[in-house]
């Protein structure tokens, strides 16, 4: 585990040198929150109105939290990097190293993710309080559970992104898979809670990764209850194992087919 800590720390320190980049990048995140605030402000003519059981305040907080979780990971770049390494054969440099490639990818990205997460949580909470004037009331213990749930959701998301990147072993370009994955996350998890969808679709969302990466962690923040928290955390542990297994399997199968063209 020490070697992964070193990889993580190296990435963390390197990204701390480029804080200006992260600050400029956060503009996109701020704009997303700004747009959704205006969308929900327009839709909720009466602030006390409930739509599918959600008040305007809850909807804005829901989108803010899902955006924090999703934007903390530079998903497009992560998939593109893995995809390019597989396509170019550069992945071969990591085969003879004393660490797992999946572990290396995860920890080498976690440094940047940590900085982004801390930064986006501060901005997100700041924007939420500015727009709405209040924050949901939660106890310290509840806050810790929510934080664990957010961290697990980010790790699961990163593992799925790694899996998508590794799909380049079996298809020429896995970037289109990322487009679909991110849009599914956006439509079925980030923008709308599952209550907004027809009852026939809701069970599918509940068993999909979207439940553990977007809906569950955000719902805990806006309407915490212990029974739901246990369900979310257990589902996240299950998905953590599934996504990790998928990555390992894809890497093991893919690396056997690897052709390195020298040079």
The contact set with another protein (CB under 8 A) reads 21, 24-25, 27-28, 31-32, 34-35, 38-39, 41-43, 51, 171-173, 175-177, 179-180, 183-184, 186-187, 191-192, 196-197
Q: 146 or 191: whose CB is closer to another protein?
A: 191
CA distances from 23 to 16, 30, 48 (A): 11, 11, 35
Distance of closest approach, residue 183 Cβ to another protein, in angstroms: 4
Q: 70 or 101: whose CB is closer to another protein?
A: 70
Coil, strand or helix at 67: helix
Calpha distance 149→153 (Å, rounded): 6
CB-side neighbour CA atoms (13 Å) of 70? 29
Distance of closest approach, residue 89 Cβ to another protein, in angstroms: 17
Distance of closest approach, residue 25 Cβ to another protein, in angstroms: 6
Distance of closest approach, residue 210 Cβ to another protein, in angstroms: 13
Calpha distance 87→175 (Å, rounded): 12
Q: 44 or 150: whose CB is closer to another protein?
A: 44
Calpha distance 12→102 (Å, rounded): 18
Rg for the chain (alpha carbons), in Å?
19
Q: 13 or 31: whose CB is closer to another protein?
A: 31
Planar angle of CA 192, 214, 26, nearest 5 degrees: 90
Q: 100 or 175: whose CB is closer to another protein?
A: 175
Distance of closest approach, residue 123 Cβ to another protein, in angstroms: 14
Write 228-232 long-range contacts (CB < 8 A, 24+). Answer: 229/142, 229/145, 229/146, 229/149, 232/149
Distance of closest approach, residue 163 Cβ to another protein, in angstroms: 17
Beta partners for residue 54, in sequence order: 51
Distance of closest approach, residue 187 Cβ to another protein, in angstroms: 5
Nearest to 250 by CA among 42, 100, 114, 137: 100
Q: 168 or 232: whose CB is closer to another protein?
A: 168
Calpha distance 91→101 (Å, rounded): 8
Q: 87 or 206: whose CB is closer to another protein?
A: 87
Calpha distance 260→263 (Å, rounded): 9
Beta partners for residue 51, in sequence order: 54
Token pair recorded at residue 16: 């701390």
């Amino acid at each position: 585990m020490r070697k992964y800590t070193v990889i993580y720390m190296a990435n963390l320190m390197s990204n701390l040198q480029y804080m200006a980049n992260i600050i400029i990048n956060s503009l996109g995140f701020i704009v997303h929150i700004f747009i959704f605030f205006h969308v929900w402000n327009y839709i909720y003519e009466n602030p006390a109105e409930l739509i599918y059981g959600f008040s305007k305040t809850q909807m804005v907080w829901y989108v803010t939290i899902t955006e924090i979780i999703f934007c903390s990971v530079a998903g497009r770049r992560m998939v593109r990097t893995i995809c390019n390494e597989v396509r170019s054969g550069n992945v071969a440099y990591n085969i003879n190293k004393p660490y797992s490639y999946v572990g290396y990818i995860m920890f080498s990205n976690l440094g940047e993710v940590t900085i982004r997460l801390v930064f986006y949580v501060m901005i997100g909470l700041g924007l939420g309080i500015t727009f709405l004037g209040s924050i949901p009331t939660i106890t310290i213990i509840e806050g810790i559970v929510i934080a664990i749930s957010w961290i697990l959701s980010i790790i699961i998301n990163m593992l799925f992104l790694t899996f998508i990147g590794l799909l380049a072993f079996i298809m020429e370009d896995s970037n289109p898979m990322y487009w679909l994955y991110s849009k599914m996350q956006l439509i079925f998890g980030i923008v709308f809670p599952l209550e907004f969808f027809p009852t026939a679709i809701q069970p599918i969302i509940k068993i999909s990764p979207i439940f553990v990466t977007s809906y569950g962690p955000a719902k805990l923040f806006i309407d915490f209850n212990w029974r739901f928290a246990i369900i979310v955390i257990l589902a996240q542990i299950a998905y953590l194992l599934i996504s990790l297994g998928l990555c390992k399997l894809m890497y093991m199968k893919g690396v056997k087919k690897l052709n390195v063209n020298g040079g």
